[in-house]
Chains A and B, each alone.
Chain A
Amino acid sequence: MYIYMAVPIAAGGRISAIWDGKIVSNACWSVKDAAAGTNHKVYQCLDVLNNVNFCVSVNDNQDHYSLIQLWADWDNVGHVGVGDTLSGVPHPAATYPIKAYASGGTHLCYNDHRVMWGTSVYYQMNYIGELKRFDTTKDMPVLIASTGGSLYNPLGYSYNTDSQVCMACLWDQNGAVGQDLRMFAYNSGYKYHRTCNGSWFFWETTVHDDTSPYVAMGYLDGVCSMYNAANGFANGIAPQCGDARWLVLGGNYSTKFWAAMRLT
């Protein structure tokens, strides 16, 4: 599901309102704790048949961004996380909180197992939830978002770097908690997608373990990550490729880290 929402002032509570108003309309998503704190709610993604079960803590009590954490479970009486967590960088220690920006217009895409959005002020993309997993018996929710006050586009970057981008999973294929991830071809700048017919060609990027032999866990669902390749992009273009339109964002940093998000 793709929705564009104009959010002119990203005051506290606006992001959780998006989750409440849109995402929980999907049967796999629900509100786990509506009163975790001031403008702080927790959502659960549960699909037993497909081995998906994790909680997303959305602390939205700041302007412009929310603090995001992944939890194995959540106590909605004590209003605290339960079990394994991905709550900061390095993981799980919250040296750098994980932030998902949403000022300005927001391009929201969500489905049964993942939520992502791109923003038209920070030109950043965030990804929360499952990959298209190569082994669907494994529950491996990932979180790709900003840390600190980064101007990088998280989905355009190629690996976890504490002060800029969180790229990690709650569990990896072996059940290890809070493991760093990396994109296919890592930090190669030679990821060119501009084609000789004057268009672009996008595909879904694979996400890998961060240690040798860098096994692939799955594809980013509807995301083509291109690092800093000079494809002739501009923030906010949305070319038609195949049967879908893709939004291209590169962040606000002087070096752009490009990604394309399929608007479906």
Chain B
Amino acid sequence: MAWTSDIHDGSVGKMIDVLDTLLVAVHATWVEYDSFGSNQKVYRCLDTANSPPIDFYIHVDDNYANYCKIYMYDSWDIGSHSYAVDTGCKVIFGSNIAYYPVICKKAGGYYFSSQDHRFIYVDKTEWEANYVGMLGQVPGSLLVQNPLLWVASSGYASGYNPLGYYSESSSFAVTEFMQLAWGRAHTRASAYGYNSAYGAFATIDGGSWLRPTLVFDYDNRIVQGYFKNVAQYYNRNNLVNDDVIVIGGDTWRYVEGTGGALSASIIKQE
């Protein structure tokens, strides 16, 4: 686990630099699997030690200023630089095909949180947080293969924080499981409490309580796991971007976006 705060410009290739340096170089479970074209790479998350194994691919098209496109697949063919076998277990768009998944990477600062099976990228210009990879598993549940892409889309410059939003939202949030535990193909994901505005975390002693948010399959309402180190705080704004909450010695960072309905995610710094 690692937490990084750094700066870069928003030019092409900068997200790949981040992933090469802060993800692949740090975690043996993440490897560069393919590199091709202009600023395009595919990363594989493979953990054979887990039973069942964790195995999914992230295609990052970083040939754009201020954002990259990011896709998730269950296989990849190095020879053709494309999806190997289309099983349907892929995330290439959100609520419809026009809304491709995006991570905002504008010039300025960013936070990056990495773990063996997921990463979080926070753009500190638009204050948008994005979650890529596995959820934490509820107690008693196997760590099963159900990776998640919870990121922005074409509306990334509007300042909506996708990880603070409760579910898919046209151009603002792509929230899709690549597949579910029992093998179903890509499926919309939603967060516990959904759009309740009453997800309050301030306590009577001037502190806060936080609980990582459960994430469920929108279609059948079955919980797939929880955001690792992320509590959602939909439509609340009594804190401001970059505020810090300390609970039991752990530091959590507040991110709510810069525009529209402010939707917060509070991310543990580790």
Contacts and interface: CB of A to CB of B under 8 A. Distances in A.
Partners in one complex: yes
Interface of A: 133-135, 138, 173, 182, 184-197, 199, 201, 203, 206, 208-209, 213-217, 229-231, 241-242
A138 to B, nearest CB: 7
A185 B141 contact: no
B248 to A, nearest CB: 13
Nearest to B196: A188
Nearest to B198: A186
A241 to B, nearest CB: 7
A196 B225 CA distance: 8
B199 interface: yes
B115 to A, nearest CB: 20
B221 A197 contact: no
Interface stretch (B31-39, B102-110, B203-211, B249-257): B203-211
Given A186-B196, A188-B198, A216-B204, A194 B221 contact: yes
Contacts of A135: 203-205
B141 A199 contact: yes
B223 A192 contact: yes
Contacts of B204: 133-135, 138, 173, 209, 215-217
B2 interface: no
A190 B221 CA distance: 8
B223 A203 contact: no
Contacts of A217: 203-204
A166 to B, nearest CB: 19
A184 B198 contact: yes
Interface of B: 138-142, 144, 146, 166, 180-182, 190, 192-205, 207, 209, 211, 214, 216-217, 221-225, 238
Contacts of B216: 190, 192
A242 B140 contact: yes
Contact of B222 (A185, A190, A195): A195
Contacts of B181: 196-197
6 contacts: A190-B192, A190-B195, A191-B193, A193-B223, A214-B200, A215-B202
Contacts of B199: 184-185
Given A196-B223, A213-B200, A215-B202, A201 B190 contact: no
A203 B193 CA distance: 14
A209 B194 CA distance: 20
Given A138-B204, A230-B221, A195 B138 contact: yes
Contacts of B194: 188-190
Q: Which 8 A-B pairs have the closest CB atoms?
A: A190-B194, A188-B196, A186-B198, A185-B193, A214-B200, A197-B141, A173-B204, A134-B203
Q: Is the interface of A mostly helix, strand, loop or mixed?
A: loop
A195 B223 contact: yes
Given A192-B216, A196-B222, A216-B200, A185 B192 contact: yes
Contact of A196 (B182, B198, B200): B182
A206 B207 CA distance: 14
Contacts of B238: 213
Contacts of B202: 213-216
Contacts, number: 111
Most buried by B among A196, A199, A216, A217: A196
Contacts of B198: 182, 184-186, 188, 208, 214
A188 B191 CA distance: 11
A196 B196 contact: no
A194 B222 contact: yes
A193 B195 CA distance: 17
A192 B214 contact: yes
B199 to A, nearest CB: 5
A216 B204 CA distance: 6
Contacts of B182: 196
A259 to B, nearest CB: 16
Contacts of A242: 139-140
Given A134-B209, A196-B217, A241-B139, 6 more contacts: A133-B204, A135-B204, A197-B142, A216-B201, A241-B140, A242-B140
A61 B211 CA distance: 43
Nearest to A240: B140
B191 to A, nearest CB: 8
Contacts of B214: 192-193, 201
Nearest to A159: B198
In the complex, which of the residues B141, B144, B197, B200 has the most CB atoms of chain A within 10 Å of its own CB atom? Answer: B200
B260 to A, nearest CB: 20
B195 A188 contact: yes
A192 B204 CA distance: 27
Contacts of A189: 194
B196 A229 contact: no
Contacts of B200: 184, 208, 213-216
